[in-house]
Amino acid sequence: MLVLFETAAGYAIFKVLDESKLQQVDSLYKEFETPEKANKVVKLKHFEKFQDTTEALAAATALIEGKLGKSLKKVLKKIVAKEAHEQLAISDVKLGGVIKEKLDLGCVHSPAVAELMRCIRSQMENLITGLPHREISAMSLGLAHSLSRYKLKFSPDKVDTMIVQAISLLDDLDKELNNYIMRCREWYGWHFPELGKIITDNLAYCKAVRKIGDRTNVSSTDLSEILPEEIEAEVKLAAEISMGTEVSEQDIGNIMHLCDQVIEITEYRTQLYDYLKNRMMAIAPNLTVMVGELVGARLISHAGSLLNLAKHPASTVQILGAEKALFRALKTRKDTPKYGLIYHASLVGQSAAKNKGKISRMLAAKAALAIRYDALGEDTNAELGTENRAKLEARLRQLEERGIRRISGTGKAMAKADKYQHKSLQRKRRKRRRRKLKRRRRRRQQ
């Protein structure tokens, strides 16, 4: 029997000297405890060394995909074909099928062969002569780096890493913007406190502060590009009677520098949101139509990738992001949460409080289908998402209208609704009627 053994440095072909040893699988490792014992079981017949890392990478990727590489085909034709009557022991069943089909060689894979491969690996440096330990280590490290780069570059489930990074950065920018704007309002509020109450928009506030500087400059400053006429007049009037304290030019300079930072970050956030929107429409168009760009991106980020999200059932998609609440409810034996990140979708937001649970469940079911279509389908259109969203909107209108009909319904409609009430309520009403009848009979008898 011949053994095909793959290494980072090349392909090795071993000849099994004593095949009876392979029958004792549990004690086979004892035959490889020392190099002397190992040489009595297997003997190196041929070693085909790789020329460089590129050749090693091509051979490794071919093995991963279960294909017959050029270098391996060359070795098998040169060595194994001479002894066609011998069986070839291999570690991969899929590769064995390809070898048998193309070269018409009998391949063997069994637990005994797997154990033999492990034993050969333990004594690899001693069995493969003419290959120093330092060279094997260098080739292994180089192949590991090259293979990692190859997987990262060509893996189909890694294209959504940009979405994961973009949504994480967007959340971080929102937090930083809130901190900066709060600090800016408090800082400039000591000098001109009335401005914060008049201008509620944060970006407009920072732009106004950047243009005004000291409040004494308000009367000579044109704010028409930033504010409407009414608010501009109100700002100028408030500056004349302001109760703020005087500050130095250095303080005003620092405040204006902070305003510049806020304006720059806001502009970059807008640019990043547009980028995220385009990426989501390119990678997951149906999910984007169903739940929106931000919610869809957060779902992908929470799951790790679009492919991982596609593996989740609809019930998991529904409560994704509410893991703490779920485990707390299971621990305390209370009601489990009805929604997680999907709560922020527009369909759930526009529904009434009593219908949010139903809509989130239906939306999660349709979103799970959309995710699988985006991740595993060949088409890149958003027809499925548009169709399912239309169905959900129709269902939401139906639920909302049912509530209105009940409130303003006629007596006949109320009577129909009474038929479907719980049996325990009907029993209570019957008991009350019987009691009333008994009281009336007693009064008549008296």
**pLDDT tens digits, one per residue of 189-214:** 999 999 989 999 999 999 999 999 88
Our CA angle for 238, 241, 245, nearest 5°, is: 100
Mean pLDDT confidence for 142-170: 76
Of 121-135, 226-240, 325-339, the range with the lowest mean pLDDT is: 121-135
Domain covering 284-407 in this structure, CATH number: 1.10.246.90
The answer to whether residue 155 scores a pLDDT higher than 70 is no
**336-372 pLDDT per residue, tens:** 898 899 999 999 999 988 899 999 999 999 999 999 9
Q: How many H-runs (helices) and E-runs (strands) does the chain carry?
A: 22, 5
For 279, residues 6+ apart whose C-beta sits below 8 A from its C-beta are 162, 163, 166
The answer to whether residue 420 scores a pLDDT higher than 80 is no
Per-residue tokens: 242: 């302001």
Domain with CATH 1.10.287.4070 in the chain: 163-275
The answer to whether residue 408 scores a pLDDT higher than 70 is no
Domain with CATH 1.10.246.90 in the chain: 284-407
Give the CATH fold of the 2-154 domain: Nucleotidyltransferase; domain 5 (3.30.420)
Confidence band, pLDDT 50/70/90 cuts, at residue 446: confident
**71-83 pLDDT per residue, tens:** 777 777 777 666 6
CA distances from 80 to 68, 69, 73, 332 (A): 15, 16, 10, 66
Most confident of 99-108, 153-162, 431-440: 431-440
Domain with CATH 3.30.420.220 in the chain: 2-154
Mean pLDDT confidence for 126-151: 77
For 304, residues 6+ apart whose C-beta sits below 8 A from its C-beta are 164
Contact of 303 with 320, CB cutoff 8 Å: yes
CA distances from 371 to 64, 138, 303, 360, 380 (A): 28, 42, 12, 16, 12
The dihedrals phi and psi of 69, each to the nearest 5 degrees, come to: -70, 165
**247-302 pLDDT per residue, tens:** 888 999 999 999 999 999 999 999 999 999 999 998 999 999 999 999 999 999 99
Per-residue tokens: 323: 């893991």
Highest CATH level, class, for 163-275? mainly alpha
| Exposure b/e, 23-47, CB count within 10 A at least 16 = b | eeeeebeebbeeeeebeebbebeeb
User: Strands across the sheet with 107-108, in order?
Assistant: 42-49, 10-16, 2-6, 88-89, 107-108
CA distances from 26 to 144, 244, 302, 344 (A): 31, 87, 44, 58
Q: What is the spatial distance between Cα 327 and Cα 336, in angstroms, rounded to a whole number?
A: 8
Instruction: Cite the DSSP H helix spans in 123-160.
Output: 124-127, 133-154
Most confident of 10-24, 89-103, 322-336: 322-336
